[in-house]
Amino acid sequence: MKPRALFLSNRIYFDDSKKEGGVRLCTMEYLSLVQLLFETHLFFVQTRRDIRYRIKVKSGFNAYDDYDVDSYRFQLINLIKQQGITYVFLNLSNTVPFARIIKNEFGDTVKIILCSHGNESGDYLHEVVKHRGKVPLYKRLISTYTLGKLLKSEARFRQVFLDLVLTVSPVEEAIEKWIGAKNVFMVPRTIKSNPLPWNPYNGRIGFIGDLSHWPNYYGLDELCKHLSNTDNKHIELRLVGSPTDTGKKLAEKYSFVNYLGYLPAKDLEQEACTWCFFLNPVFYYSRGVSTKLAKAISWGIPVISTTIGCRGYVWKQGGVVLAENASSMAGCIIDYANDSNYIGKAKEQIDLLGKSGLSLEEIATNLKKII
């Protein structure tokens, strides 16, 4: 008989009416892993909506204060007692305040494990330094305080209330150890094979992603800048994502970009079948991993990526086309996107990669040894 665990998460990541995104995909992967080892009970929470909280969000003072934890105290403690829960998994780092009330009530009889999707303070650091021109002045003025509060909160929760942190990449694993996590385990990305009837057009490359996410926008813009300085007349970059305004601006700025908007799953698959390469232009470390890379691999579409963009993925055979900066990625596109022979070889490599990753069962076996 499996031990009993509770999986605590924001309800929004279980709402099928919402657009599919990286956080939701990662949530489902974590949940599937937990369900292999435990009889799992779900406990849903919702982000605060009160005026005070909205003011804090607007001003940038909402670090680890997204939930009214005390309002869930009675229900949460009762469920743990009634169901004989011995492990609690917290989905996303901003749920760690729930660890305090659980530890204060149960001590070491209930183990608390954070399912981290990535380091919060690292992303905030990029926001206020790398992209400071996009951040309102009042947020820049308080950024030192906010960053300090984030780091202090992350360290305290890990050193005092959390028994284990699950991470999604080796980089995150190192950061968690650095800020004092007692135990850390990296959960590699898993690939669910879903090969498409691939029929690529030479010169047609594609990108899928949230264009409001700064690493995505920055990566695309940097790549396009370098592509615009090449002989790109036989290149078409098909861009899928939202928000619409951002996608249209990129298409207006670069003549080789064709913005398609947000596409439903079936339409997206039909579109992706025509791409000779799937682009993963990640040029600096940010929170989490590139979940869209798993989609490309599962579809069997050749990928051009950076090493950074592949963090969190483990494979034994095959590979992607690697380019470590925007200039070299633009060069790869110009050199390979119209070379049918090279495209065919890249296809062979991505198919090998898709078959050689770790299974969820293998990961569960390794995790069980630590738990």
- Give the pLDDT of the chain (371 residues) as one tens digit per residue: 899 999 999 999 998 877 777 889 999 999 999 999 999 999 999 998 888 777 766 666 667 788 999 999 999 999 999 999 999 999 999 999 999 999 999 999 999 999 999 887 776 676 667 666 666 666 666 677 778 888 888 999 999 999 999 999 999 999 999 999 999 999 999 998 999 999 999 999 999 999 988 889 999 999 999 999 999 999 999 999 999 999 999 999 999 999 999 999 999 999 999 999 999 999 988 878 888 999 999 999 999 999 999 999 999 999 999 999 999 999 999 999 999 999 999 999 999 999 998 999 999 999 999 99
Residue 364: predicted pLDDT = 97
Q: Which two tokens stand for residue 299?
A: 């579809």
Cis bond upstream, residue 243 (ω within 30):
yes
Angle formed by the axes of helices 291-299 and 340-355, nearest 10°: 110
Rg value, the chain, Cα? 22
Q: Which two tokens stand for residue 190?
A: 């898993």
261 forms beta bridges with 240
CA–CA gap between residue 350 and residue 195 (Å, rounded) = 11
Contact status, residue 279 vs residue 223, Cβ threshold 8 Å:
yes
pLDDT digits (tens, 9 = 90+) for 184-223: 999 999 998 999 999 999 999 999 999 988 889 999 999 9
pLDDT digits (tens, 9 = 90+) for 75-84: 999 999 999 9
CA–CA gap between residue 337 and residue 344 (Å, rounded) = 11
- The domain defined by 204-355 carries CATH number 3.40.50.2000: yes
Q: Which residues of 290-314 are buried (b: 16+ CB within 10 A; e: fewer)?
A: bbbbbbbbbbbbbbbbbebbbbbbe
Q: Which two tokens stand for residue 6?
A: 């509770």
Residue 214: predicted pLDDT = 86
Contact status, residue 293 vs residue 310, Cβ threshold 8 Å:
yes
State the maximum Cα–Cα separation within the chain, in Å, rounded to a whole number.
Answer: 67
CA–CA gap between residue 29 and residue 17 (Å, rounded) = 19
Contact status, residue 191 vs residue 297, Cβ threshold 8 Å:
yes
CB atoms within 10 A of CB 170: 13
Alpha helices in 107-206 (DSSP H): 120-129, 137-141, 143-160, 170-178
Same fold, 4-187 and 204-355: yes
Q: Nearest CA to 232 among 88, 332, 141, 299?
A: 332
Query: For the chain, which residues make up each domain, given as ranges?
Result: 4-187, 204-355
Q: Which fold has domain 4-187?
A: Rossmann fold (3.40.50)
User: Starting from the edge strand earliest in sequence, which strands make up the sheet with 204-208, in order?
Assistant: 257-261, 236-240, 204-208, 277-280, 303-305, 321-322
pLDDT digits (tens, 9 = 90+) for 88-117: 999 999 999 999 999 999 999 999 999 999
Is residue 10 classed as helix, strand or coil in its secondary structure?
Answer: strand
Q: Are strands 39-45 and 184-186 parallel, antiparallel or unpaired?
A: unpaired
Q: Nearest CA to 218 among 246, 259, 192, 237?
A: 246
How long a stretch of residues is the chain?
Answer: 371
Residue 59: predicted pLDDT = 64
Is residue 3 classed as helix, strand or coil in its secondary structure?
Answer: coil
Using CB atoms within 10 Å of the CB of residue 158, give its burial: 0 to 12 exposed, 13 to 18 middle, 19+ buried.
buried
Using CB atoms within 10 Å of the CB of residue 18, give its burial: 0 to 12 exposed, 13 to 18 middle, 19+ buried.
exposed
